[in-house]
């Protein structure tokens, strides 16, 4: 009887060993990289802290003309973007935000946010540079002298209307003045604690602010 010899050739023992070793190294490297990625992602946090917040309602405007202001610092170790301001759950459009993120003096950030006075009942705040030499640059949509003295340029909020979320690097702070939609609060809310939510992605939470009636 003739013996049929197969033409198929098996992989040599040496080659098999090499393939196993290479596969092990590749899989091991993948596991290490994946674990490192998880560790880095887990140790980086998104966090913001509100340093001060105010809500003002026009004492003589029947339609609930009101403004607010808030100071926020990025206390995490990732870049965050403040994307929502919600008094009583009502979103404030970006074009009604006036933000200045160039003030890094902790004393100024912690200072009380000032109401500049009403420009009649047309919905705007008074630009203080019209009434005193505050040392602020003209030409912005909103200019506020935080301490009312105007001794240095660093004490001025100089802001144009926002066009989108406000980005903050770790440790960076911002002061935002914002106009509420008329009727969100009214003079009947004067002295009442009202929730305002400040959010930057997953970071942030509602907090309580006492509404101040201002003539």
Residue 16 has pLDDT above 70, yes or no: no
Q: What is the pLDDT of residue 39?
A: 46
pTM of the model: 0.75
Q: What is the pLDDT of residue 195?
A: 92
Q: What is the pLDDT of residue 84?
A: 96
- By the 8 A CB rule, do 196 and 52 touch? no
Say which range, 128-137, 175-184, 190-199, has the weakest mean pLDDT: 128-137
Residue 181 has pLDDT above 60, yes or no: yes
Using one digit for the tens of pLDDT, what is the confidence trace for 118-128? Answer: 877 667 787 65
Kindly state the tokens that stand for 1. Answer: 């009887």
Using one digit for the tens of pLDDT, what is the confidence trace for 66-86? Answer: 999 999 999 999 999 999 999
Instruction: Provide the b/e sequence for 44-81 (b: ≥16 CB within 10 Å).
Output: eebbbeeeebbbbbbeebeebbbbbbbbbbbbbebebe
Residue 131 has pLDDT above 80, yes or no: no
Say which range, 14-18, 44-48, 210-214, has the weakest mean pLDDT: 14-18
Residue 40 has pLDDT above 90, yes or no: no
Query: Kind and range of the H or E element at 41?
Result: helix 13-43
Q: What is the pLDDT of residue 133?
A: 45
Residue 103 has pLDDT above 70, yes or no: yes
């Amino acid at each position: 009887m003739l013996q049929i010899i197969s033409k198929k050739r098996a992989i040599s023992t040496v080659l098999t060993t090499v393939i196993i070793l290479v596969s092990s190294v590749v899989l091991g490297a993948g596991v290490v990289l994946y674990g490192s990625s998880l560790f880095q992602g887990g140790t980086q946090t998104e966090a913001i802290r509100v340093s001060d917040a105010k809500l003002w309602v026009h004492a003589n405007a029947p339609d609930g003309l009101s403004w607010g202001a808030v100071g926020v610092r990025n206390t995490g170790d990732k870049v965050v973007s403040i994307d929502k301001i919600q008094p009583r759950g009502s979103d404030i459009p970006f074009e009604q935000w006036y933000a200045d993120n160039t003030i890094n003096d902790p004393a100024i950030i912690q200072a009380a946010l000032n109401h500049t006075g009403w420009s009649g009942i047309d919905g705007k705040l008074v630009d203080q540079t019209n009434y005193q030499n505050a040392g602020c640059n003209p030409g912005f949509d909103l200019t506020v002298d935080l301490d009312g003295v105007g001794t240095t340029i660093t004490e001025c909020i100089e802001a144009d209307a926002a066009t989108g979320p406000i980005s903050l690097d770790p440790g960076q702070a911002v002061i935002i003045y914002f106009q509420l939609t008329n009727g969100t609060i009214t003079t009947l809310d004067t002295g009442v604690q009202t929730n305002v939510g400040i959010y930057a992605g997953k970071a942030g939470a509602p907090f309580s602010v006492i509404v101040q009636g201002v003539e």
